Structure 1
Amino acid sequence: MPLIQELTDTYQSGWSATVALGQRLSTHVIPLQTHHPKDSLTNQWGPQAQALASLTISWDRTAVEKKLIRQNWPVAKQRAAAKYLSYIERYMDEAVINMYETGIPVSITLAQGILESGAGASNLARKTNNHFGIKALPTATGRRKIKAKRYDELTPQDFRYRPPAIGVSQHHDDHVYDRFEVYASVQDSYWRHSRLLLNSCKKARKGCYRWIWQEFPIQRQYVDLTEMAEIYQSVSGYSPKDFFGKTKVPYYAAQAAGLKMAGYATSKTYHKKLVYLIETYELWRFDVAVQRALG
Protein backbone atom coordinates (compact mmCIF):
# COMPACT_ATOMS: atom_id res chain seq x y z
CA MET A 1 0.00 0.00 0.00
CA PRO A 2 1.48 3.40 -0.98
CA LEU A 3 1.90 6.12 1.64
CA ILE A 4 0.65 9.68 1.56
CA GLN A 5 3.61 11.83 0.57
CA GLU A 6 2.12 15.26 1.20
CA LEU A 7 -1.21 16.21 2.70
CA THR A 8 -3.51 18.15 0.38
CA ASP A 9 -6.24 20.70 1.07
CA THR A 10 -8.64 19.37 -1.57
CA TYR A 11 -11.22 18.51 1.06
CA GLN A 12 -11.37 22.15 2.19
CA SER A 13 -12.42 23.24 -1.29
CA GLY A 14 -14.84 20.36 -1.58
CA TRP A 15 -16.43 21.27 1.73
CA SER A 16 -18.28 24.22 0.23
CA ALA A 17 -17.92 23.84 -3.52
CA THR A 18 -18.40 20.23 -4.55
CA VAL A 19 -19.80 21.16 -7.95
CA ALA A 20 -16.87 23.47 -8.67
CA LEU A 21 -14.54 20.50 -8.33
CA GLY A 22 -16.17 18.87 -11.33
CA GLN A 23 -17.96 16.27 -9.25
CA ARG A 24 -21.57 15.53 -10.05
CA LEU A 25 -24.02 15.66 -7.18
CA SER A 26 -26.21 12.60 -6.95
CA THR A 27 -28.95 11.31 -4.70
CA HIS A 28 -28.03 8.02 -3.12
CA VAL A 29 -30.67 5.89 -1.43
CA ILE A 30 -29.56 4.33 1.86
CA PRO A 31 -31.57 1.13 2.55
CA LEU A 32 -32.52 1.97 6.13
CA GLN A 33 -35.46 -0.42 6.08
CA THR A 34 -33.13 -3.41 5.73
CA HIS A 35 -30.90 -2.41 8.64
CA HIS A 36 -31.72 -3.55 12.15
CA PRO A 37 -29.77 -1.79 14.94
CA LYS A 38 -28.37 -4.27 17.44
CA ASP A 39 -27.84 -2.10 20.50
CA SER A 40 -29.31 0.69 22.59
CA LEU A 41 -27.46 3.42 20.70
CA THR A 42 -30.37 3.56 18.26
CA ASN A 43 -33.44 1.72 19.44
CA GLN A 44 -35.31 3.28 16.55
CA TRP A 45 -34.53 5.55 13.65
CA GLY A 46 -34.99 9.16 14.70
CA PRO A 47 -36.13 12.07 12.51
CA GLN A 48 -32.55 12.70 11.37
CA ALA A 49 -32.42 9.27 9.76
CA GLN A 50 -34.85 10.43 7.10
CA ALA A 51 -32.10 12.71 5.78
CA LEU A 52 -30.06 9.60 5.03
CA ALA A 53 -32.86 7.99 3.07
CA SER A 54 -31.94 10.23 0.13
CA LEU A 55 -28.38 11.29 0.88
CA THR A 56 -26.89 13.87 -1.49
CA ILE A 57 -23.26 12.97 -2.13
CA SER A 58 -20.52 14.32 -4.35
CA TRP A 59 -18.49 11.11 -4.39
CA ASP A 60 -18.44 9.65 -7.89
CA ARG A 61 -16.51 6.54 -8.90
CA THR A 62 -16.18 7.61 -12.53
CA ALA A 63 -14.76 10.99 -11.54
CA VAL A 64 -12.19 9.33 -9.27
CA GLU A 65 -11.19 6.92 -12.05
CA LYS A 66 -10.74 9.80 -14.50
CA LYS A 67 -8.60 11.64 -11.96
CA LEU A 68 -6.30 8.63 -11.61
CA ILE A 69 -5.99 8.34 -15.39
CA ARG A 70 -5.03 12.02 -15.60
CA GLN A 71 -2.33 11.28 -13.03
CA ASN A 72 -0.92 8.71 -15.47
CA TRP A 73 -1.44 5.71 -13.25
CA PRO A 74 -0.14 2.54 -14.95
CA VAL A 75 -2.71 -0.09 -15.95
CA ALA A 76 -1.71 -2.48 -13.15
CA LYS A 77 -2.20 0.23 -10.55
CA GLN A 78 -5.56 1.16 -12.09
CA ARG A 79 -6.68 -2.47 -11.76
CA ALA A 80 -5.84 -2.40 -8.05
CA ALA A 81 -7.71 0.90 -7.74
CA ALA A 82 -10.75 -0.68 -9.38
CA LYS A 83 -10.86 -3.28 -6.59
CA TYR A 84 -10.75 -0.55 -3.96
CA LEU A 85 -13.49 1.43 -5.70
CA SER A 86 -15.68 -1.65 -5.92
CA TYR A 87 -15.18 -2.23 -2.21
CA ILE A 88 -16.22 1.36 -1.49
CA GLU A 89 -19.38 0.99 -3.58
CA ARG A 90 -20.24 -2.31 -1.94
CA TYR A 91 -19.87 -1.23 1.69
CA MET A 92 -20.45 2.53 1.70
CA ASP A 93 -24.07 2.11 2.84
CA GLU A 94 -22.95 0.17 5.89
CA ALA A 95 -20.32 2.80 6.70
CA VAL A 96 -22.87 5.62 6.32
CA ILE A 97 -25.35 3.89 8.63
CA ASN A 98 -22.62 3.28 11.19
CA MET A 99 -21.68 6.96 11.08
CA TYR A 100 -25.30 7.85 11.78
CA GLU A 101 -25.41 5.42 14.71
CA THR A 102 -22.00 6.11 16.23
CA GLY A 103 -20.37 9.17 14.67
CA ILE A 104 -17.40 7.19 13.36
CA PRO A 105 -16.52 8.87 10.02
CA VAL A 106 -17.26 6.96 6.83
CA SER A 107 -13.79 7.81 5.53
CA ILE A 108 -12.01 6.13 8.43
CA THR A 109 -14.28 3.08 8.35
CA LEU A 110 -13.87 2.45 4.61
CA ALA A 111 -10.13 3.17 4.63
CA GLN A 112 -9.58 0.73 7.50
CA GLY A 113 -11.79 -1.84 5.82
CA ILE A 114 -9.79 -1.63 2.59
CA LEU A 115 -6.44 -1.71 4.37
CA GLU A 116 -7.20 -4.41 6.94
CA SER A 117 -9.03 -6.76 4.56
CA GLY A 118 -7.20 -6.17 1.29
CA ALA A 119 -10.48 -4.74 -0.03
CA GLY A 120 -12.26 -7.87 1.14
CA ALA A 121 -9.85 -10.25 -0.62
CA SER A 122 -7.57 -11.30 2.25
CA ASN A 123 -7.67 -14.84 3.57
CA LEU A 124 -8.87 -13.57 6.95
CA ALA A 125 -11.71 -11.53 5.43
CA ARG A 126 -12.89 -14.33 3.16
CA LYS A 127 -12.87 -17.02 5.85
CA THR A 128 -14.13 -15.03 8.85
CA ASN A 129 -15.95 -11.93 7.49
CA ASN A 130 -13.54 -9.97 9.69
CA HIS A 131 -12.71 -6.84 7.68
CA PHE A 132 -10.95 -4.89 10.44
CA GLY A 133 -8.39 -7.29 11.87
CA ILE A 134 -10.14 -7.46 15.23
CA LYS A 135 -8.44 -10.01 17.44
CA ALA A 136 -9.87 -12.28 20.10
CA LEU A 137 -8.06 -11.74 23.40
CA PRO A 138 -6.60 -14.63 25.41
CA THR A 139 -8.19 -15.65 28.69
CA ALA A 140 -6.12 -16.06 31.85
CA THR A 141 -5.50 -19.68 30.89
CA GLY A 142 -4.57 -18.64 27.38
CA ARG A 143 -2.12 -16.04 28.66
CA ARG A 144 -0.39 -18.63 30.83
CA LYS A 145 0.03 -20.97 27.87
CA ILE A 146 1.34 -18.15 25.70
CA LYS A 147 3.78 -17.02 28.38
CA ALA A 148 5.08 -20.58 28.64
CA LYS A 149 5.19 -20.81 24.82
CA ARG A 150 2.86 -23.81 24.88
CA TYR A 151 1.20 -22.65 21.68
CA ASP A 152 0.20 -26.15 20.56
CA GLU A 153 -1.99 -26.48 23.64
CA LEU A 154 -4.07 -23.40 22.85
CA THR A 155 -7.73 -24.05 22.05
CA PRO A 156 -10.57 -21.74 20.94
CA GLN A 157 -11.76 -21.74 24.57
CA ASP A 158 -8.53 -19.98 25.55
CA PHE A 159 -9.69 -16.84 23.74
CA ARG A 160 -12.66 -14.59 24.35
CA TYR A 161 -14.66 -12.73 21.75
CA ARG A 162 -17.49 -10.26 21.90
CA PRO A 163 -20.87 -10.27 20.16
CA PRO A 164 -21.76 -10.26 17.37
CA ALA A 165 -18.69 -12.47 16.85
CA ILE A 166 -19.58 -16.17 16.78
CA GLY A 167 -16.15 -17.72 17.33
CA VAL A 168 -12.42 -17.39 16.72
CA SER A 169 -10.04 -18.40 13.95
CA GLN A 170 -6.26 -18.75 13.96
CA HIS A 171 -4.35 -16.56 11.52
CA HIS A 172 -0.70 -15.60 11.84
CA ASP A 173 -0.37 -11.84 12.26
CA ASP A 174 2.04 -10.41 14.83
CA HIS A 175 2.32 -13.83 16.52
CA VAL A 176 1.80 -17.42 15.46
CA TYR A 177 -0.83 -17.89 18.17
CA ASP A 178 -3.04 -14.96 17.14
CA ARG A 179 -6.78 -15.62 17.01
CA PHE A 180 -9.27 -13.36 15.24
CA GLU A 181 -12.98 -12.90 15.76
CA VAL A 182 -15.32 -14.63 13.31
CA TYR A 183 -18.60 -13.05 12.17
CA ALA A 184 -21.68 -14.41 10.45
CA SER A 185 -21.66 -11.46 8.04
CA VAL A 186 -19.54 -8.51 6.96
CA GLN A 187 -22.28 -6.25 8.34
CA ASP A 188 -21.58 -7.70 11.79
CA SER A 189 -17.90 -6.95 11.30
CA TYR A 190 -18.70 -3.30 10.55
CA TRP A 191 -20.95 -3.11 13.61
CA ARG A 192 -18.26 -4.61 15.85
CA HIS A 193 -15.60 -2.25 14.49
CA SER A 194 -17.56 0.92 15.20
CA ARG A 195 -18.33 -0.21 18.76
CA LEU A 196 -14.68 -1.11 19.34
CA LEU A 197 -13.77 2.46 18.44
CA LEU A 198 -16.29 3.71 21.03
CA ASN A 199 -15.46 1.39 23.94
CA SER A 200 -15.39 3.09 27.34
CA CYS A 201 -11.76 3.48 28.27
CA LYS A 202 -9.19 5.64 29.98
CA LYS A 203 -7.48 8.16 27.76
CA ALA A 204 -3.72 7.70 27.21
CA ARG A 205 -4.00 3.91 27.33
CA LYS A 206 -3.28 1.61 24.42
CA GLY A 207 -6.48 0.34 22.84
CA CYS A 208 -8.50 3.43 23.81
CA TYR A 209 -10.00 5.10 20.73
CA ARG A 210 -13.15 6.83 21.98
CA TRP A 211 -11.40 10.15 22.55
CA ILE A 212 -10.33 10.46 18.89
CA TRP A 213 -13.76 11.47 17.58
CA GLN A 214 -14.18 14.07 20.33
CA GLU A 215 -10.72 15.61 20.05
CA PHE A 216 -10.58 15.55 16.23
CA PRO A 217 -14.13 16.20 14.98
CA ILE A 218 -15.05 16.44 11.30
CA GLN A 219 -14.50 20.05 10.31
CA ARG A 220 -13.25 22.18 7.47
CA GLN A 221 -10.45 23.80 9.49
CA TYR A 222 -7.21 22.00 10.19
CA VAL A 223 -6.88 20.47 13.65
CA ASP A 224 -3.78 20.41 15.84
CA LEU A 225 -2.74 16.97 17.06
CA THR A 226 0.03 18.26 19.37
CA GLU A 227 -1.71 17.87 22.73
CA MET A 228 -2.92 14.31 22.20
CA ALA A 229 0.31 13.23 20.53
CA GLU A 230 2.23 14.43 23.59
CA ILE A 231 -0.16 12.61 25.94
CA TYR A 232 0.30 9.38 23.95
CA GLN A 233 4.01 9.76 23.19
CA SER A 234 5.07 7.31 25.89
CA VAL A 235 2.63 4.77 24.43
CA SER A 236 3.18 5.34 20.70
CA GLY A 237 6.81 6.41 20.68
CA TYR A 238 5.86 9.21 18.26
CA SER A 239 6.37 12.92 18.86
CA PRO A 240 3.73 15.31 17.44
CA LYS A 241 5.69 15.99 14.25
CA ASP A 242 6.61 12.35 13.67
CA PHE A 243 3.23 11.57 12.12
CA PHE A 244 3.15 13.95 9.15
CA GLY A 245 6.06 16.33 9.65
CA LYS A 246 3.68 19.00 10.95
CA THR A 247 1.05 19.18 13.65
CA LYS A 248 -1.85 21.01 11.98
CA VAL A 249 -3.55 18.59 9.61
CA PRO A 250 -6.96 17.73 8.10
CA TYR A 251 -9.37 16.14 10.57
CA TYR A 252 -9.09 12.68 8.96
CA ALA A 253 -5.29 12.79 9.17
CA ALA A 254 -5.53 13.60 12.87
CA GLN A 255 -8.01 10.75 13.35
CA ALA A 256 -5.70 8.33 11.52
CA ALA A 257 -2.82 9.51 13.70
CA GLY A 258 -5.03 8.98 16.76
CA LEU A 259 -5.58 5.35 15.79
CA LYS A 260 -1.83 4.92 15.48
CA MET A 261 -1.22 6.70 18.81
CA ALA A 262 -3.59 4.32 20.57
CA GLY A 263 -2.06 1.22 19.00
CA TYR A 264 -4.72 0.02 16.57
CA ALA A 265 -2.01 -1.44 14.33
CA THR A 266 1.70 -2.19 14.64
CA SER A 267 2.65 -0.88 11.19
CA LYS A 268 4.81 2.23 11.56
CA THR A 269 3.10 3.82 8.56
CA TYR A 270 -0.49 2.76 9.30
CA HIS A 271 -1.75 6.34 9.61
CA LYS A 272 -0.14 7.38 6.33
CA LYS A 273 -1.71 4.44 4.50
CA LEU A 274 -5.15 5.41 5.79
CA VAL A 275 -4.71 9.02 4.70
CA TYR A 276 -3.46 7.87 1.29
CA LEU A 277 -6.70 5.94 0.79
CA ILE A 278 -8.90 8.77 2.06
CA GLU A 279 -7.30 11.39 -0.17
CA THR A 280 -6.75 9.25 -3.27
CA TYR A 281 -10.31 7.91 -3.31
CA GLU A 282 -11.85 11.08 -1.84
CA LEU A 283 -13.55 9.28 1.02
CA TRP A 284 -13.87 12.52 2.98
CA ARG A 285 -16.78 13.38 0.66
CA PHE A 286 -18.95 10.86 2.50
CA ASP A 287 -18.17 12.50 5.86
CA VAL A 288 -19.21 15.90 4.55
CA ALA A 289 -22.41 14.51 3.03
CA VAL A 290 -23.51 12.71 6.18
CA GLN A 291 -22.64 15.61 8.45
CA ARG A 292 -24.64 17.98 6.25
CA ALA A 293 -27.59 15.59 6.14
CA LEU A 294 -27.66 15.26 9.91
CA GLY A 295 -27.28 18.98 10.44
Structure 2
Amino acid sequence: MSWSAASSLGGKYWALKNLQWTSTYPLFVLLFVSFQAFAQTPAEEKALKIAYVKKFSWLAIEEMKRTGIPASIKLAQAIVESHSGISSLATEANNHFGLKCGKDWMGQAIYKYDDDRDANGVLVESCFQAYSTIRQSYMSHSAHLSNPAKMDRYGYLFALDILDYRAWAEGLQKGGYSTNPIYANILIQTIEDLGLKELDLRVLRETGYIRP
Protein backbone atom coordinates (compact mmCIF):
# COMPACT_ATOMS: atom_id res chain seq x y z
CA MET A 1 0.00 0.00 0.00
CA SER A 2 1.49 3.30 -1.07
CA TRP A 3 1.58 6.41 1.10
CA SER A 4 -0.50 8.29 -1.45
CA ALA A 5 -3.11 5.52 -1.47
CA ALA A 6 -3.38 5.57 2.31
CA SER A 7 -3.76 9.33 2.30
CA SER A 8 -6.45 9.33 -0.37
CA LEU A 9 -8.53 6.72 1.48
CA GLY A 10 -8.87 8.50 4.75
CA GLY A 11 -5.47 9.57 6.00
CA LYS A 12 -3.61 8.46 9.07
CA TYR A 13 -6.39 6.54 10.83
CA TRP A 14 -7.27 4.42 7.80
CA ALA A 15 -3.64 3.60 7.09
CA LEU A 16 -2.93 2.36 10.61
CA LYS A 17 -6.27 0.59 11.17
CA ASN A 18 -6.11 -1.42 7.95
CA LEU A 19 -2.40 -2.24 7.97
CA GLN A 20 -1.76 -5.94 8.61
CA TRP A 21 0.55 -6.76 11.52
CA THR A 22 3.71 -8.06 9.90
CA SER A 23 7.43 -7.86 10.49
CA THR A 24 7.44 -4.63 8.51
CA TYR A 25 4.90 -2.91 10.78
CA PRO A 26 7.53 -1.29 13.06
CA LEU A 27 9.27 0.13 10.00
CA PHE A 28 5.98 1.52 8.64
CA VAL A 29 5.28 3.22 11.95
CA LEU A 30 8.81 4.61 12.06
CA LEU A 31 8.49 6.04 8.56
CA PHE A 32 4.97 7.29 9.27
CA VAL A 33 5.97 9.15 12.42
CA SER A 34 9.15 10.44 10.79
CA PHE A 35 7.16 11.80 7.86
CA GLN A 36 4.79 13.62 10.18
CA ALA A 37 7.60 14.97 12.38
CA PHE A 38 9.75 16.24 9.54
CA ALA A 39 7.10 17.42 7.07
CA GLN A 40 8.06 21.07 6.66
CA THR A 41 7.92 23.76 4.05
CA PRO A 42 11.28 24.66 2.44
CA ALA A 43 11.28 27.92 4.38
CA GLU A 44 10.68 26.14 7.69
CA GLU A 45 13.39 23.61 6.93
CA LYS A 46 15.88 26.36 6.07
CA ALA A 47 15.01 28.25 9.26
CA LEU A 48 15.62 25.14 11.35
CA LYS A 49 19.02 24.63 9.72
CA ILE A 50 20.04 28.24 10.30
CA ALA A 51 18.93 28.04 13.92
CA TYR A 52 20.92 24.84 14.36
CA VAL A 53 24.07 26.45 12.98
CA LYS A 54 23.69 29.44 15.29
CA LYS A 55 23.23 27.18 18.28
CA PHE A 56 25.90 24.55 17.67
CA SER A 57 28.56 26.04 15.37
CA TRP A 58 30.77 26.62 18.40
CA LEU A 59 30.89 22.87 19.01
CA ALA A 60 31.92 22.16 15.44
CA ILE A 61 34.59 24.86 15.65
CA GLU A 62 35.85 23.49 18.96
CA GLU A 63 36.14 20.00 17.48
CA MET A 64 37.84 21.26 14.33
CA LYS A 65 40.52 22.89 16.46
CA ARG A 66 40.88 19.73 18.53
CA THR A 67 40.77 17.05 15.83
CA GLY A 68 41.13 18.60 12.38
CA ILE A 69 37.67 17.58 11.17
CA PRO A 70 36.26 20.53 9.18
CA ALA A 71 33.54 22.37 11.06
CA SER A 72 31.58 22.60 7.83
CA ILE A 73 31.51 18.82 7.45
CA LYS A 74 30.65 18.16 11.08
CA LEU A 75 27.78 20.65 11.11
CA ALA A 76 26.44 19.41 7.78
CA GLN A 77 26.45 15.84 9.03
CA ALA A 78 24.78 16.84 12.28
CA ILE A 79 22.07 18.76 10.41
CA VAL A 80 21.40 15.88 8.04
CA GLU A 81 21.60 13.06 10.58
CA SER A 82 19.58 14.81 13.31
CA HIS A 83 17.15 16.65 11.03
CA SER A 84 18.46 19.92 12.46
CA GLY A 85 18.24 18.62 16.00
CA ILE A 86 14.59 17.49 16.02
CA SER A 87 14.98 13.75 15.35
CA SER A 88 14.01 11.36 18.13
CA LEU A 89 17.64 10.28 18.49
CA ALA A 90 18.68 13.89 18.99
CA THR A 91 15.90 14.83 21.39
CA GLU A 92 15.86 11.61 23.43
CA ALA A 93 19.52 10.58 23.39
CA ASN A 94 21.51 13.69 22.34
CA ASN A 95 22.74 11.64 19.37
CA HIS A 96 23.18 14.12 16.53
CA PHE A 97 25.17 11.90 14.17
CA GLY A 98 23.16 8.69 14.00
CA LEU A 99 25.99 6.65 15.49
CA LYS A 100 25.14 3.08 16.43
CA CYS A 101 26.65 1.28 19.39
CA GLY A 102 28.98 -1.15 17.66
CA LYS A 103 30.63 -4.01 19.47
CA ASP A 104 33.00 -1.82 21.50
CA TRP A 105 30.53 0.79 22.79
CA MET A 106 30.43 0.82 26.59
CA GLY A 107 28.32 3.92 27.15
CA GLN A 108 24.61 4.66 27.34
CA ALA A 109 22.35 3.28 24.63
CA ILE A 110 18.90 3.67 23.14
CA TYR A 111 17.10 1.16 20.92
CA LYS A 112 15.13 2.16 17.83
CA TYR A 113 14.03 0.54 14.59
CA ASP A 114 16.31 1.46 11.71
CA ASP A 115 17.60 -1.00 9.11
CA ASP A 116 18.91 -3.97 11.10
CA ARG A 117 17.34 -7.40 10.60
CA ASP A 118 17.81 -10.78 12.25
CA ALA A 119 18.82 -14.03 10.53
CA ASN A 120 15.24 -14.48 9.32
CA GLY A 121 15.08 -11.04 7.77
CA VAL A 122 12.78 -9.65 10.44
CA LEU A 123 13.32 -6.02 11.36
CA VAL A 124 14.85 -5.67 14.82
CA GLU A 125 15.68 -2.70 16.99
CA SER A 126 19.09 -1.15 16.47
CA CYS A 127 21.34 -0.03 19.30
CA PHE A 128 22.29 3.64 19.08
CA GLN A 129 24.74 5.55 21.23
CA ALA A 130 23.20 7.86 23.82
CA TYR A 131 24.86 10.75 25.61
CA SER A 132 24.30 12.98 28.60
CA THR A 133 25.17 16.08 26.56
CA ILE A 134 25.22 17.12 22.92
CA ARG A 135 28.88 17.99 23.28
CA GLN A 136 29.58 14.32 24.00
CA SER A 137 27.85 13.46 20.73
CA TYR A 138 30.13 15.82 18.81
CA MET A 139 33.20 14.37 20.50
CA SER A 140 32.03 10.81 19.84
CA HIS A 141 31.64 11.64 16.16
CA SER A 142 35.25 12.84 16.09
CA ALA A 143 36.38 9.67 17.85
CA HIS A 144 34.43 7.57 15.36
CA LEU A 145 36.13 9.12 12.33
CA SER A 146 39.61 9.07 13.88
CA ASN A 147 39.31 5.56 15.34
CA PRO A 148 42.42 3.55 14.33
CA ALA A 149 40.16 0.53 13.77
CA LYS A 150 38.41 2.51 11.02
CA MET A 151 41.61 3.79 9.43
CA ASP A 152 40.87 1.99 6.17
CA ARG A 153 37.52 3.78 5.92
CA TYR A 154 38.25 7.29 7.15
CA GLY A 155 41.97 7.58 7.86
CA TYR A 156 42.92 9.21 4.57
CA LEU A 157 40.41 12.01 5.13
CA PHE A 158 42.78 13.63 7.59
CA ALA A 159 45.40 13.98 4.84
CA LEU A 160 43.01 15.97 2.65
CA ASP A 161 43.04 19.74 2.32
CA ILE A 162 41.04 20.84 5.35
CA LEU A 163 39.15 23.31 3.15
CA ASP A 164 38.17 20.66 0.60
CA TYR A 165 34.74 19.87 2.01
CA ARG A 166 33.74 18.19 -1.25
CA ALA A 167 36.50 15.59 -0.91
CA TRP A 168 35.57 15.06 2.74
CA ALA A 169 31.91 14.55 1.84
CA GLU A 170 32.77 12.11 -0.93
CA GLY A 171 35.16 10.28 1.39
CA LEU A 172 32.50 9.87 4.06
CA GLN A 173 30.15 8.33 1.53
CA LYS A 174 32.88 6.09 0.14
CA GLY A 175 33.75 5.01 3.69
CA GLY A 176 30.19 3.87 4.26
CA TYR A 177 29.05 6.44 6.81
CA SER A 178 25.63 6.38 5.19
CA THR A 179 23.89 3.96 2.84
CA ASN A 180 22.26 6.89 1.03
CA PRO A 181 23.76 6.87 -2.51
CA ILE A 182 23.65 10.68 -2.70
CA TYR A 183 24.92 11.32 0.84
CA ALA A 184 27.94 13.29 -0.37
CA ASN A 185 25.79 15.53 -2.54
CA ILE A 186 23.43 16.19 0.36
CA LEU A 187 26.33 17.24 2.60
CA ILE A 188 27.85 19.43 -0.10
CA GLN A 189 24.52 21.12 -0.80
CA THR A 190 23.97 21.72 2.92
CA ILE A 191 27.40 23.31 3.29
CA GLU A 192 26.94 25.55 0.28
CA ASP A 193 23.36 26.56 1.08
CA LEU A 194 24.33 27.61 4.61
CA GLY A 195 27.78 29.03 3.83
CA LEU A 196 29.44 26.66 6.29
CA LYS A 197 32.86 26.87 4.64
CA GLU A 198 33.23 30.25 6.34
CA LEU A 199 33.49 28.41 9.66
CA ASP A 200 36.51 26.49 8.39
CA LEU A 201 38.14 29.71 7.21
CA ARG A 202 37.42 31.30 10.57
CA VAL A 203 39.21 28.50 12.40
CA LEU A 204 42.22 28.73 10.10
CA ARG A 205 42.43 32.47 10.68
CA GLU A 206 42.17 32.10 14.43
CA THR A 207 44.83 29.40 14.53
CA GLY A 208 47.18 31.28 12.22
CA TYR A 209 47.14 28.87 9.29
CA ILE A 210 45.97 31.63 6.96
CA ARG A 211 46.08 35.40 7.21
CA PRO A 212 42.97 37.33 8.27
Quote the residue 1:168 is aligned against: 109
Quote the residue 1:198 is aligned against: 146
Quote the residue 2:73 is aligned against: 108
Counterpart code for 2:157: I
**Cα distance, 1:94 vs. partner?**
0.7
Quote the residue 1:261 is aligned against: 174
SS of match in other structure, 1:268: coil
Counterpart code for 1:191: M
Q: What is the rounded CA distance, in whole Å, between the counterparts of 1:97 and 1:190 in structure 2?
A: 10
Q: Does 1:281 align with 2:178?
A: no
Unpaired runs of 5+ in structure 1? 1-74, 139-159, 220-250
Counterpart code for 1:187: R
Counterpart code for 1:200: P
SS of match in other structure, 2:129: strand
Deviation per CA, 1:208-251: give whole Å up to 9, x if none: 2122121x2124xxxxxxxxxxxxxxxxxxxxxxxxxxxxxxx1
TM, length-normalised to structure 2: 0.72
Counterpart code for 1:287: D
Unpaired runs of 5+ in structure 2? 1-39, 117-123
Task: Indicate the larger mover: 95-104 or 171-180.
Answer: 171-180
Q: How many residues align?
A: 162
SS of match in other structure, 1:168: strand
Quote the residue 1:95 is aligned against: 60
**Cα distance, 1:202 vs. partner?**
6.3
Counterpart code for 2:139: W
8 Å contact kept, 2:68–2:162? no
TM, length-normalised to structure 1: 0.53
Q: Does 1:218 align with 2:134?
A: no
**Cα distance, 1:201 vs. partner?**
3.7
Identity over the aligned pairs, expressed in percent? 35
8 Å contact kept, 1:133–1:180? yes
8 Å contact kept, 1:95–1:190? yes
**Cα distance, 1:99 vs. partner?**
0.6
CA RMSD of aligned residues (A): 1.6
More helix by share: 2
Quote the residue 2:31 is aligned against: none
Quote the residue 1:209 is aligned against: 154
Quote the residue 1:136 is aligned against: 101
SS of match in other structure, 2:114: coil
Quote the residue 1:18 is aligned against: none
Q: What is the rounded CA distance, in whole Å, between the counterparts of 2:131 and 2:149 in structure 1?
A: 24
Deviant stretches of 4+, over 3 Å: none
Q: What is the rounded CA distance, in whole Å, between the counterparts of 1:194 and 1:100 in structure 2?
A: 11
* Cα separation, partners in 2 of 1:181 and 1:202, compared to 1, 3 Å: closer
SS of match in other structure, 2:177: coil
Q: What is the rounded CA distance, in whole Å, between the counterparts of 1:183 and 1:168 in structure 2?
A: 8
Quote the residue 2:136 is aligned against: 188
Q: What is the rounded CA distance, in whole Å, between the counterparts of 1:252 and 1:172 in structure 2?
A: 31
